[in-house]
Amino acid sequence: MKKYLIATTFLAGIAAAGVALADDDDCNVAMSNWQPREAVKAMAEAQGWSVRRIKTDDGCYEIDGRDAQGREIEVKVDPGTLAIVEMEYEDDDDDDDDDYGESRQNAAPAGSVAPPDNGLFTPGSKPVVKQ
Amino acid sequence: MKTLLATLALTTALSAPALAAPVTLTTNLSNYGGDGAYLALYVTDSKGVYKGSLWMAGGKAKYYKHLSDWNRATGGNTAEISGITGASVGAGRQLKITLDLADALFDAGYELHIDAAVEDFRDSPSEVVVPLTRAGANKPVAGRHYIQDFTYGL
């Protein structure tokens, strides 16, 4: 009897944890209303992104790939409307609970980045940053 | 012929620096006692119409809506800051950027704006608005909340 009780308590605990995790979902769309993966791929390509992988995470579609400028991106998309829920650059720190950013984790992109062609910069010039 | 060449060489030498100039933008943050600040540095014309971005301090696009004037002008389009995005700036710290800017930006009615935002603090759009003039170079301008002062040096 005692064993039975312990087992039940243990199972109940797991169930509660499961519910708690489910509450954390960023998207909440019934499976029947999900758009197919092909639609997600088409949406990403329409944005000029190259798609490496489409997976599901936190109840959303998540696109891993690169944006039109070649930066690594991770985009969460509502599976019903395909609206962007969250967009992150992979060269950022990943921790969502983090503050706005700490300099050491969130370093400026280095290397051969060039400023946009907005008429303000000398073409081909590179910014120099110190902080 | 020789004179022509010499004249040509001279005018080229003179006109090259007239087209572009390295400009150093120095932003000193005050000790506001919060997390790292997101800063958007961008240029508007004399009517306040957005012309383009110079720098974005802070890497997460989801926070850019808090840089509300910049966000309204650009629609949050990250292509505007591609290649000119860096880390957020800690309280009391300095952000110093040297950019090769078009000479035509100075003494032509353009203004440099800085929007600032800090997590759990009030947003501060256009915290600094400074006309881009040669006379105004190297003169610190005070901010309102998070920016202690801002200087552009030619």
* Domains of chain A by residue range: 24-89
How many helices (H) and strands (E) chain A has is answered by: 2, 5
Residue whose C-alpha is closest to residue A107's, from B57, B47, B149: B57
Bridge partners (DSSP) listed for residue A84:
A77
- Compute the CA torsion angle B56, B58, B78, B130 (nearest 10 deg): -30
Instruction: Report the chain A residue with the minimal C-alpha distance to residue B96.
Output: A130
What tens digit of pLDDT does each residue of A30-84 get? Answer: 999 999 999 999 999 988 899 999 999 889 999 999 988 888 888 999 999 998 8
Residue range B26-40: mean pLDDT, rounded: 96
Q: What is the pLDDT of residue A113?
A: 64
CA contacts within 13 A on the Cβ side of A35: 18
Residue whose C-alpha is closest to residue B94's, from B26, B144, B145, B25: B26
> What CATH number labels A24-89?
3.10.450
What tens digit of pLDDT does each residue of B42-100 get? Answer: 999 989 999 999 999 998 888 999 999 999 999 999 889 988 999 999 999 999 999 99
Q: For chain B, say whether A88 makes contact (Cβ under 8 Å).
A: yes
Q: How far does the CA of residue A94 sit from the closest CA of chain B (Å)?
A: 10
> What CATH number labels B20-153?
2.60.40
B95·A91 Cβ contact <8 A: no
CB pairs under 8 A between A and B: 134
A130·B96 Cβ contact <8 A: yes
Q: What is the pLDDT of residue A91?
A: 66
pLDDT bucket at B140, cuts 50 / 70 / 90: very high
* Span of A32-41, A91-100, B145-154 with lowest mean pLDDT: A91-100
Chain A residues close to B96, C-beta within 8 Å: 129-131
Q: Which residues contact A114 (CB under 8 A, 6 or more apart)?
A: A124, A125, A126, B83
Q: Which residues contact B68 (CB under 8 A, 6 or more apart)?
A: B115, B123, B125
Q: What is the pTM of this model?
A: 0.59
